Amino acid sequence: MINAKSYHTGVDATIYNLSKLFSNNDEKSIIVDEGNPFVEIDYNISIEHKEYGIKAIDTSVNWVRGEIKWEWEGKSNPEIEAKLIAAGGKVVENDDDESRFIMIKGTIEIDSTEQFNGKDWDVSVDLDISHYGFISPSACEIDFGAMTITIS
């Protein structure tokens, strides 16, 4: 007999390769704003029972959703600015002196059930049962380079 139950929780997410979205090799130029973003996770835990006890415990993720706020600040570069604005960024600061520094901020919405930039997310789950018997997601890693979401 298999018993399955769905759960919902939220965890902090760590973001990798965000600059790859903007075809920008300078990872430090795109930063995630306001610390770690928060994502919501809907997941299932299934327990397979046998007459001798529990045979298996399986976990799966239904969806992961959240928002990532990012910002870029640097010397004006029309090519980079165009990519960032095309990705939903908005110019929030603009110095008018000769150095012409600019700040662009934006928000990326994550939904693991939908394609992002024409690609599917690869979602993996690596949940362990704690020595107290507790099982629940405690972290999320989102890698824009590999298009992966890892729940642990």
- Residue 21 near residue 99 (C-beta atoms within 8 A): no
What is the Cα–Cα distance from 17 to 98, expressed in whole angstroms? Answer: 31
Amino acid letter, 109: E
The residue extents of the domains of the chain are 2-151
What is the Cα–Cα distance from 67 to 70, expressed in whole angstroms? Answer: 10
What is the Cα–Cα distance from 151 to 148, expressed in whole angstroms? Answer: 10
- Residue 60 near residue 43 (C-beta atoms within 8 A): yes
What is the Cα–Cα distance from 26 to 54, expressed in whole angstroms? Answer: 50
Rg (CA), the chain: 20
What is the Cα–Cα distance from 19 to 133, expressed in whole angstroms? Answer: 39
Nearest residue to 66 (alpha-carbon basis) of 11, 22, 120: 11
Nearest residue to 38 (alpha-carbon basis) of 59, 65, 58: 65
Task: Give 112's contacts (C-beta < 8 A, 6+ positions apart).
Answer: 61, 63, 64, 65, 121, 123, 149
**Along the 152 residues of the chain, how does pLDDT read in single tens digits?**
999 999 999 999 999 888 777 665 554 567 776 567 999 999 999 999 999 999 999 999 999 999 998 888 888 788 888 888 887 889 887 766 656 788 889 999 999 999 998 999 999 999 988 888 889 999 999 999 899 999 99
